[in-house]
Structure 1
Amino acid sequence: MAEPRWLTDVEQRAWRALVESSRALFEALDRELQRDADMPHTYFEVLVRLSEAPERSLRMSELADLTLSSRSRLSHAVARLEERGWVERRNCETDRRGQVATLTDAGFAVLRDAAPGHVAAVRRYVVDALDPAQLAALTEIGETIRARVEGDG
Structure 2
Amino acid sequence: MAGARDDVPWLDAEEQAAWRAYMEMRDEVTLRLERDLQARSGLSGADYQVLVHLSESPGDAVRPVEVCTALRWEQSRLSHQLTRMERRGLVERRACEEDGRGSIVALTDEGRAAIEEAAPGHVVALRALLVDVIGRDGMLQLGAIARRVLDALPDDDLRPRGGRRAGDRSG
| Alignment partner of 1:24 out of 18, 21, 28 | 28
Q: Is 1:75 aligned with 2:64?
A: no
Scaled by the length of structure 2, the TM-score of the pair is 0.81
Using a 3 Å threshold, how does the CA distance of structure 1 residues 19 and 101 change in structure 2: closer, same or farther? Answer: same
Instruction: Name which of 92, 107, 112 aligns with 2:111.
Output: 107
1:128 matched residue in structure 2: 132
Write out per-residue CA displacement over residues 71-125 of structure 1, whole angstroms, 9 at most, x where no aligned residue: 1111111111101001001222334443211000011111111111101001111
Could you state the TM-score of these two structures normalised by the residue count of structure 1?
A: 0.90
Aligned letter for 1:70?
E
1:137 aligns with 2:161: no
> Aligned-pair RMSD on alpha carbons?
1.9
Identity of aligned residues (%): 38
CA distance in 2, matches of 1:91, 1:60: 11
Paired residue for 1:48?
A: 52
For residue 100 of structure 1, give the secondary structure of its aligned residue in structure 2. strand
Aligned to 2:163: none
CA distance in 2, matches of 1:2, 1:87: 54
Match of residue 17 from structure 2:
13
Structure 2 counterparts to residues 55-66 of structure 1, below 5 A: 55-66=59-70
Instruction: Considering Cα pairs closer than 8 Å and 6+ residues apart, tell me whether 1 or 2 has the greater RCO.
Output: 2
Does residue 118 of the first structure (1) align with residue 130 of the second (2)? no
Deviation at 1:40, TM superposition (A): 1.1
What stretches of structure 1 of length at least 5 have no aligned partner?
A: none
Deviation at 1:69, TM superposition (A): 1.4
Name which of 4, 8, 11 aligns with 2:8.
4
Three-state SS of the structure 2 residue aligned to 1:4 is coil
Structure 2 gap segments, 5+ residues each: 159-171
The 4+ residue runs of structure 1 with deviation greater than 4 A are: none
1:88 is paired with a residue whose SS is strand
Instruction: Tell me the distance in 2 between the aligned counterparts of 1:33 and 1:131.
Output: 22
Give distance in 2, aligned partners of 1:107 and 1:49. 12
